Amino acid sequence: MAARSALDALNDWVASVALLTRPAAIQWCDGSDSENDALIAKMQADGTLLPLNPDTNPRSWLHRSHPDDVARVEHLTFVCTPEQDDAGPNNHWMSPADGHAQMDGLFDGCMAGRTMYVIPYCMGPIDSPLSRCGVEITDSPYVVANMRIMTRMGAAALARIEREGTFVKGLHSTGELDPNRRYIMHFPEELTIKSYGSGYGGNALLGKKCHALRIASHQARKEGWLAEHMLILGLENPQGETHYIAAAFPSACGKTNLAMLIPPEGYRRDGWKVWTIGDDICWMRPGADGRLYAINPEAGFFGVAPGTSEKSNPNALASIQSDTIFTNVGLTADNQPWWEGIDNGQQPTTDWRGEPYDPAKRPAAHPNSRFTVSAKQCPSYSPMAEDAQGVPISAIVFGGRRASLVPLVFEARDWTHGVLVGAAMGSETTAAATGAVGVMRRDPMAMKPFCGYNFADYFAHWLSFDTEGAKLPKIFHVNWFRKGDDGKFLWPGFGDNLRVLEWMIKRVEGRADAVETPIGQLPAESDLNLDGVDLSDEARARLFGYDRAGWQAEFASIGDYLDEYGPRMPEALKSEQQRIVTGIAK
């Protein structure tokens, strides 16, 4: 009966949406090549997609979004729960009744003259018990083309929905692209998303942040797992042993670069390899052996283009040489995609708005311009990304952009301390979010824009994994972005970040030393392999140093931050903060 009722529920929902939005036609998407070819042809014909140079970028296209529709809109993103406290101070809240009324008013007749696309999709390998399915209804063929790359979309997903009897419902319309009529509403109790007025990636590809983080974090709490804003990489040593690391960084802080890291020459010569499982989202669940096992629910990369170059991320650059959708990048005279930092000797002639490039007017590529590409095109892609059971996680890493105070790396003393490290994470804002750039804000576990419920309950959920028999990963914090007095970065970053990962794995295996401090365990310079790395005295002092006065102020600020969540904040985290404050004062 369950399988029958799932399709009934899906058909009923599609019919009710059609009644509300009044489309000219309805198309059920099967994910086939022929369907995709027809959609691409349709978008080329109406100018939504511009074909790129077929010799340099075969089967690749440029999409230009509306100039007012270029990033996530956190201030217009709501979580609709019956009780406001359940959404928490970390979310904008509206009651479910008000949320539905507001959105249904916007959706009324909005697809007149348009095709309504029904997209069944699976987040994660189609046969994995960790995966979850959804259906997005949209009037945007651009969304269909991107969802085909980013999810397992079509007939296999629909068959799984039939079997399981449950799915996340996502309703999207580009509407009029009016910033004053743009909202994204999440109804966690109903496993429902409604997004109106934006065609931009995270606002329109509902499988991504809306489902895989905001709704999935709610599902994960109920079902005993974690839905996190984390990359997953495999680090293979010269002996052929692979450790898997999950790492959380706010958007545009180097997640994709780290996920696709190429080891420094000496490490490559010795036989070290880095394997890419995922660059953005990680779903983790305890396995029978007490370890956490993770899958990447996405099938593609929706990466930030600016700064991607042969130097910063050769694997990403290799991934996007064909079969890629670019959004809001510039163009060269011969129709090649271009962005700031690509450093390929080309010059742009057209900017992301389609106007002649004038550096005095605006950059050629929008700072949040993107590429969408299948993960399987990445040279470092690991077939383990398709493993139904997921990969065992040895270490969890938190990090952000901090120009001062925070050292290169430190290790949490235990799980509770590690949860506090993640909860207190701070980072300077980037172009992925609307608003000022370069402002330090707390971004717990890099989930500030994405946690679908009260952060205090989320921290309690994290703490709940520390049970008898659990073999939890070690937790670390990194800061690749420490600056010197001259304003320049002190750490070379990119491939050299492997030196820090190697120390972490040695710590996991009990083969590396550390210096005990109140904030955690830091490596001494001699604990890292720094062969070939030229660090100034200032760099060594700051990257491996502990600034007692600075940390006193930081932990006072962390205490104030935890208090913002009121009585729901777990006492264990407040006690941990106090323990560290006492340690710093000694």
Report pLDDT digits (tens) over 523-541.
Answer: 999 999 999 999 999 999 9
Q: What integer pLDDT is reported at residue 432 of this predicted model? A: 59
Q: Are 447 and 458 in contact (CB under 8 A)?
A: yes
The CATH class of 2-30+64-224 is alpha beta
As annotated, the residues of the chain forming the CATH 3.40.449.10 domain(s) are 2-30+64-224
Query: 314 and 306 in contact (C-beta within 8 Å)?
Result: no
99 has pLDDT over 70: yes
Residue 133 annotated as lining a ligand binding site: no
Confidence (pLDDT) at 251: 76
The per-residue DSSP string of 256-278 comes to: HHHHT----HHHHHHT-EEEEEE
Dist CA 397 CA 409 (whole Å) = 9
| Three-class DSSP category at 332 | strand
Q: 59 among the known binding-site residues?
A: no
Residue 275 has pLDDT above 70, yes or no: yes
Ligand-binding site membership of 494 (annotated): yes
pLDDT score of 431: 61
Architecture of domain 228-300+382-547: Alpha-Beta Complex (3.90)
pLDDT tens-digit map of 459-518: 999 999 999 999 999 999 999 999 999 999 999 999 999 999 999 999 999 999 999 999
Mean pLDDT of 215-224: 98
Whether the predicted pLDDT of 87 surpasses 90: yes
Q: Confirm or deny that 308 is annotated as ligand binding.
A: no
Chain segment 17-53, per-residue pLDDT in tens: 999 999 999 999 999 999 999 999 999 999 999 999 9
Say yes or no to pLDDT of 435 above 70. no
Parallel, antiparallel, or unpaired: how do β-strands 337-338 and 192-196 relate?
unpaired
Report which of 70, 46, 78, 340 is spatially closest to residue 201, judged by C-alpha positions. 70
Distance CA 253, CA 406 (A): 15
Cα–Cα distance for residue pair 362/346, rounded to 1 Å: 18
pLDDT band at 241 (very low <50, low <70, confident <90, very high): very high
Give the three-state DSSP class for 193. Answer: strand
Considering the chain, tell me which residue range(s) the CATH 3.90.228.20 domain(s) occupy: 228-300+382-547
pLDDT band at 320 (very low <50, low <70, confident <90, very high): very high
pLDDT at 495: 94
Calculate mean pLDDT across residues 272-291: 97
Pairing verdict, β 49-51 and 61-63: antiparallel
How far apart, in whole angstroms, are the C-alpha atoms of residue 329 and residue 353? 9
Report the alpha-carbon distance of residue 67 to residue 154 in Å, rounded.
31
Calculate mean pLDDT across residues 547-559. Answer: 96
For residue 197, give both structure tokens: 């007025």
Cα separation, 446 vs 400, whole angstroms: 8
Q: Give the rounded percent of residues in the chain with a pLDDT score beyond 90.
A: 93
How far is residue 259's CA from residue 443's CA, in Å, rounded to a whole number? Answer: 20
Q: What is the mean pLDDT of the chain?
A: 96
Strand 61-63 versus strand 325-327 pairing type: parallel
pLDDT(436) > 80: no
User: What DSSP character marks residue 498?
Assistant: H
Q: What is the pLDDT of residue 438?
A: 72
Position 3 pLDDT exceeds 90: no
| Percent of the chain predicted with pLDDT > 70 | 98
| Residue 175 counted as an annotated binding residue | no
Q: CA separation (Å) from 372 to 142, 143, 203, 261?
A: 11, 11, 15, 19
* Residue tagged 């490559």 (tokens): 268
pLDDT (0 to 100) of residue 72: 83
Catalytic residues, by residue number, are 253
The pLDDT of residue 428: 83
Q: pTM for the complete prediction?
A: 0.96
pLDDT at 2: 46
CA torsion sign for 455, 457, 459, 461 is negative
Answer yes or no: is 255 a known binding residue.
Answer: yes
- Dihedral class, residue 557 (left if φ above 0, else alpha if ψ from -120 to 50, else beta): alpha
Mean pLDDT in residue range 397-419: 97
Question: How many residues would you count in the chain?
Answer: 586
Instruction: Please tell me the predicted confidence (pLDDT) of residue 176.
Output: 95
> Would the pLDDT of 141 be above 60?
yes
545 is in an annotated binding site: no
pLDDT-derived band at 440 (thresholds 50, 70, 90) equals confident
